[in-house]
Structure 1
C-alpha cells in the first residue's frame, strides 16, 4: 500500500473513532446524569470516552501497542483539541462574524488535523511521513556539518 493510501486510511479510521468516541461520551453522560450532578457526569463521561478513544486509536487507527507512556501522554491530544477549537471559535466569531451557533462546529472541524497529528506522534512515536522520497543516506548529515564534495 502506498504511503499516501496508508495515511488516508488512518485519517478515515481517526474520523470513525472520533464518531464512536462522541457517541460513547454522550451515552455515558446521559446514563450518569440521573445519579450525579451534571458537571460530575460530564467529567466522568469525558474521562471514560478519553480512555476508550486511547484504546480505539491505539489498536484501530494507528495499529500500535498501548503503553503506559502513551496512555499518560494521550490527554495532550485533548488539550490540543481544546486550544485549537477555542482559538478557532474566537477567530470565527470575532473576526469572521460567524454565527455563535455554527462556529463551534466549524472550529471542531478545523481542529481535526491538529488533533490527528498530535495523536499520531504520541501513539506511533513519529510524525506523518512527508510526501516525496526519503533522502539518500549520503544526503543525511548531522546538523551543522558541511556537505561532502
Structure 2
C-alpha cells in the first residue's frame, strides 16, 4: 500500500468514527432539546419554548462535542468557535422552525423537521471549528 493510500485510509477511518460519535452526540442533545421544548411548550409560546430547549441542548452539546465527538479539551478558541457556529445554527433553526409552523407542520413536528436539516449542517460547522483548531494547535 502506498503511503498516500494509507494516509487516505487512516483519515477516512478517523472521519467515519468522528461522524459516528457526532451522531450519538446529536441524538442525545436533540432529544434533550426536544424534551425541554415539549415541557416549556406547556407553559410558553412556541418560539420561547424552542429557544429554551436550544439553550439547554447547547450546554450538553458543548461538553459532548468537545470531549466525545472531537476528543479534545475545552479552550477559549473552541468555545468561541462553538458559540459562533451555534449562533449561526440557532438563526437557521429558528428560521426553519417558524417556516415549518407557517407551512402547518404543527408545534410538535416542526422541531423534528428542523433537526433533520440543521444537525448535518451543524456537524460541518463544528468540524471546521474543532479540526482547524486542533491542526493550528499542533
TM-score relative to the length of structure 2: 0.62
Change (3 A) 1:40 1:64: same
Change (3 A) 1:126 1:108: same
Q: Which residue of 1 aligns with 2:127?
A: 120
After superposition, the CA RMSD in angstroms is 3.7
**Unaligned residue ranges in structure 2 (runs of 5+):** 1-8, 106-111
Q: In the comparison of the two structures, how many residue pairs are matched?
A: 117
**Unaligned residue ranges in structure 1 (runs of 5+):** 91-98, 129-149
Name the structure where helix makes up a greater proportion of residues.
2
Q: 12, 24, 43: which is aligned to 1:16?
A: 24
Q: 12, 28, 31: which is aligned to 2:39?
A: 31
- Could you report, residue by residue, the CA deviation over 1:24-71 in whole angstroms, capped at 9, with x for unpaired residues? 00111223334x423333212111101111111111100000123322
Q: Which residue of 2 aligns with 1:68?
A: 76
Alignment of 1:129-144 (within 5 A): none
Does the CA-based 8 Å contact 2:26-2:119 persist in structure 1?
no
Query: Bigger radius of gyration, 1 or 2?
Result: 1
TM-score relative to the length of structure 1: 0.58
Q: What displacement does 1:110 show?
A: 6.0
